[in-house]
Structure 1
């Protein structure tokens, strides 16, 4: 992929932002102080960017964007948005970057500076390439090429198109494009860029051609240039590709280059590169060394995931808060105009009526803003908690399975029936887990079809190995029960059944409903391996179950012991 171009593009976009603010022939319709503020905020953003404070840089770019009118000053608006998208891209937030860029697409036709359009198309292509949408990536890279900005940008666009072909395993087509670029003087005058193209040609030959000498020649040529430049990150890339080249030819040479690649990536402080090198080392390590390298890989994955997730959340919050602030300012201006009009109409009325009307308006405004603010806070918190929970489930429950399945597919001969069957089995497990997560977060029917929906959900956990017994569900007066309590009952049973299937190894599960006066009793039991109640830690599913029941003023009692099954008694007031 080519996400590492993002810092380079980011600085170029920043430069173009400053240029757009200064150009006299691209005049603003705003007042002079407006232009000065845009320039001042852009300089602040650059200062933070130079000091690697990306969240602050993103904040000030967003401030510039908020005061730029895209219709009267499209150059500054688009350049600033490109800079924001590059910052998101640099944190591997390709979806967020894509969303940001789509905001400028309607205004591209308004600018005369086609170079800004080139950056927008190129960023979009990078985002689509890194999210495996290769047709869209190729389309935007070709649109960038069609702009015909200058010779070097055309070369960059062609290289990007070749990267898409490589991702699609179309190595022969990629080689034809890349070989044509090596003769260009603009490429040969830039050793770093020249080495990158040579390295990609060698990579393609190692996959496409049986002539190993061609692949080695290009890979080694690229390495020699990078050694002269003394760029640790680029040297690490060459070592990595040489390790891939030797992987099935000479295990000693392959291991040597893997180790050298990891060391150089470490010196360059490139976490993504270190993870790639470690993954290669793990795949080629004997059992005694496997655990050590695997632990390093897990630590790197956890650290980079946390950092990038925080950055993504911070960027999203900055954009959301800015949008909310603009909306509130607009509302304040609207209400101010209305109040002034009302005051003008009330001049001839007596003082008492005037005071009553003003007080009423103030009380209404205070109540309105209070309720609106509270509702927005609740929505934000609920959305954030839901996204965090789903993200954690995806990371904890699917990441390892997907990684192992990918490793299996890469290292096994899928033409063999047993390997193909194992791969299909792994994919079926991943699909099942994905389906479970989808069901846990889907909407719940609470109308007259609630009983059918609840039965269907519970019955879905019955398998050949699990005998599920359901009693008393039809005896409950569900029409008299509050909607929120129905949702809670549904979710609680879903959590218990999901935990049962994941951890208990139960073969018999019973769910019994009973209505006593103004309460519903739900008794859940299974014959699984149980848990030690003295060592139980309420988290994840059990924590959610307890919280949900307490929120509707219900009670819950859990009884279990090792190898003695698991029982839960829930009492919910009607």
Structure 2
């Protein structure tokens, strides 16, 4: 993961200047037509297509001119412009012509310059073999003609190739040679680049104290020559020093350096890649020191920037760090999610070093599949290391036998191609094996979930059956009480009223008054008891059904937990106590799954659920105003398949209607016996 653990910045000139230090002094003329077209192409606000047209015209003129120093000088200027404007095919055509002309004229100076420019071109592809050959040839020619102008840049660029291919010893040797030349010529930009590069090489060999020394040397160069270098070099060195301390596990010191670099507020807007590296590294140090909240905040900010810029290798790093954070807080689910996404991106973008780092983290987080990840990690690490060893050996041979390797270039390219095809074949085979194993694991997980679901349904059936027994017992008891009230108390009260009525013939005013009061009171008692009896008799019919209660609880939980507004209607004509238990179970599960899908994906503001009974059929609809989806393109996941399967179990039909930005409506129709 060395390519994104630290931020490389080199103020390197691709081609070099025209000063030949006594080797060649070319008088430039702007009166000929080739120079006129070249000047036209360099004007501001000109379209790329127009530029290319003028460059082609200039090249067409130059290739038919006499092979002299002026022609080669102009052709070199044209080649530089084609390179700067990324006209690759035209650049190679111009460079190859200049190589031919310089070879015929035995012009070592321009031959060295064009080898150097081709080295830059192939390094950026990247095609490290070709690039290394051209840099080595340029070095050999410049040393032969004793021209050190630009030689340090050739050595620095060559060391970059060796660094990227794991040849740290070779890179260090090239950098030391470049340092002596740059020191003698007082090449400030090269001295800074060499210091940073030596520091990075020391980090790779785990000599962190030496790395810090080199980075501090780079800071000293910036301090004394800040105007001669590009922006944010100071912050780059501070980042690398902080990273060195982080590697030493001295996290407190690393935090200080990252914070110092972040004091430059312009980094965020002007160099978001460097800013994302700084806050990500700072977040990791916070994670290691226990400042988890701040670490999460910085990781998420860095990830957002990298996703916007589409820096996929850096996105993998962010997700690896996030998985480590979630693991530390024991959030296994999110930890697995982040590392799975990291593996997917690294594999898709074919960034093998990122994939290896993600595999290492996955083996720690996913305990169940740790063995698989570890084996894959070891295999790919060994494979890449073998490729690096082959590259180191190859570069050594190039330096010792440049002429022989140039002759055998085609053979080496065939070997490299075969090696690449073999590597791709192995990776593909392992990927297929990984997919098969993952599919098997997914199938097992699905079977387990189905078994668990069946167990839940059995438990629900038992609960419903138990509830039915309780309801039956309650009904029997209520009827007994109603019968006792009606046949016992009411009969006695009615007899009392008749007795009182029989003495109503007494004409005594006081007796008449009291008798009427007693009669009225008995009537009131009789009416109260009658109402109690009737209430007890019809309570069963008025009592909310158990299914309705469970469904209402689900709606209340949905409203309390999620922001979407939910409204529902339940037809009172539906007699749930006559509906079979398996239908109620399946309806409840479909309703539950539908609401869960809305919460996960729909981003809805309102949800409407309706229960209706028409023509002895139960009609249920779940509708939302969310973002919707293309039903024809959307693959049916496990949840949707379960919903369809449950509808079929009820002899019903499930329809899903949706389109993008128009919400989703799920309709379920079930016949009732």
TM-score, length-scaled by structure 1: 0.52
Q: How many residues align?
A: 317
Alignment-derived partner of residue 236 in structure 1: 316
Say whether 1:187 aligns with 2:261.
Answer: no
Alignment-derived partner of residue 89 in structure 1: 163
Contact 1:152 1:186 in 2 (8 A): no
Deviation at 1:79, TM superposition (A): 0.4
Contact 2:6 2:240 in 1 (8 A): no
CA distance in 2, matches of 1:307, 1:316: 14
Alignment-derived partner of residue 223 in structure 1: 303
Of 12, 18, 24 in structure 1, the residue corresponding to residue 15 of structure 2 is 18
Deviation at 1:87, TM superposition (A): 0.3
CA distance change for structure 1 residues 159 and 2 in 2, over 3 Å: closer, same or farther?
A: farther
CA distance change for structure 1 residues 194 and 70 in 2, over 3 Å: closer, same or farther?
A: farther
Contact 2:6 2:239 in 1 (8 A): no
Contact 1:181 1:187 in 2 (8 A): no
Deviation at 1:187, TM superposition (A): 1.4
Task: Give 1 or 2 for the bigger CA radius of gyration.
Answer: 2
CA distance change for structure 1 residues 6 and 181 in 2, over 3 Å: closer, same or farther?
A: closer
CA distance in 2, matches of 1:207, 1:50: 36
- After TM superposition, the structure 1 = structure 2 runs for residues 361-510 of structure 1, keeping only pairs within 5 Å, are none
Contact 1:199 1:222 in 2 (8 A): yes
Of 273, 279, 283 in structure 2, the residue corresponding to residue 202 of structure 1 is 283
Contact 1:118 1:147 in 2 (8 A): yes
CA distance change for structure 1 residues 100 and 7 in 2, over 3 Å: closer, same or farther?
A: farther
Deviation at 1:59, TM superposition (A): 0.8
CA distance change for structure 1 residues 317 and 30 in 2, over 3 Å: closer, same or farther?
A: farther
CA distance change for structure 1 residues 191 and 53 in 2, over 3 Å: closer, same or farther?
A: same
TM-score, length-scaled by structure 2: 0.44
Alignment-derived partner of residue 303 in structure 1: 383
Of 336, 345, 353 in structure 2, the residue corresponding to residue 264 of structure 1 is 345
Name which of structure 1's ranges 300-309 and 62-71 shifts more when overlaid on structure 2: 62-71
Deviation at 1:2, TM superposition (A): 4.3
Deviation at 1:278, TM superposition (A): 0.5
Residue deviations 1:412-439 (CA, integer Å, cap 9, x gap): xxxxxxxxxxxxxxxxxxxxxxxxxxxx
> What's the C-alpha RMSD, in Å, of the aligned pairs?
2.6
CA distance change for structure 1 residues 178 and 8 in 2, over 3 Å: closer, same or farther?
A: closer
Q: Mark the runs of 5 or more structure 1 residues left unpaired by the alignment.
A: 326-574
Contact 1:71 1:110 in 2 (8 A): no
CA distance change for structure 1 residues 221 and 7 in 2, over 3 Å: closer, same or farther?
A: closer
3-state SS of paired residue (1:269): coil
Residue deviations 1:477-515 (CA, integer Å, cap 9, x gap): xxxxxxxxxxxxxxxxxxxxxxxxxxxxxxxxxxxxxxx
CA distance change for structure 1 residues 3 and 236 in 2, over 3 Å: closer, same or farther?
A: closer
CA distance change for structure 1 residues 28 and 59 in 2, over 3 Å: closer, same or farther?
A: farther
Alignment-derived partner of residue 321 in structure 1: 401
Deviation at 1:69, TM superposition (A): 3.4
CA distance change for structure 1 residues 70 and 320 in 2, over 3 Å: closer, same or farther?
A: closer
Residue deviations 1:444-469 (CA, integer Å, cap 9, x gap): xxxxxxxxxxxxxxxxxxxxxxxxxx
Deviation at 1:44, TM superposition (A): 2.2
3-state SS of paired residue (2:328): coil
Alignment-derived partner of residue 126 in structure 2: 52
Contact 1:70 1:77 in 2 (8 A): no
CA distance in 2, matches of 1:65, 1:238: 40
CA distance in 2, matches of 1:291, 1:168: 29
CA distance in 1, matches of 2:169, 2:338: 34
Alignment-derived partner of residue 292 in structure 1: 372
CA distance in 1, matches of 2:248, 2:281: 14
CA distance change for structure 1 residues 195 and 4 in 2, over 3 Å: closer, same or farther?
A: closer
CA distance in 1, matches of 2:8, 2:318: 20
3-state SS of paired residue (2:366): coil
Alignment-derived partner of residue 418 in structure 1: none
CA distance in 2, matches of 1:79, 1:167: 29
CA distance in 2, matches of 1:158, 1:298: 33
Alignment-derived partner of residue 21 in structure 2: 27
Residue deviations 1:132-187 (CA, integer Å, cap 9, x gap): 11111111111111111444111111111111111111211211221222231441
Say whether 1:42 aligns with 2:116.
Answer: yes
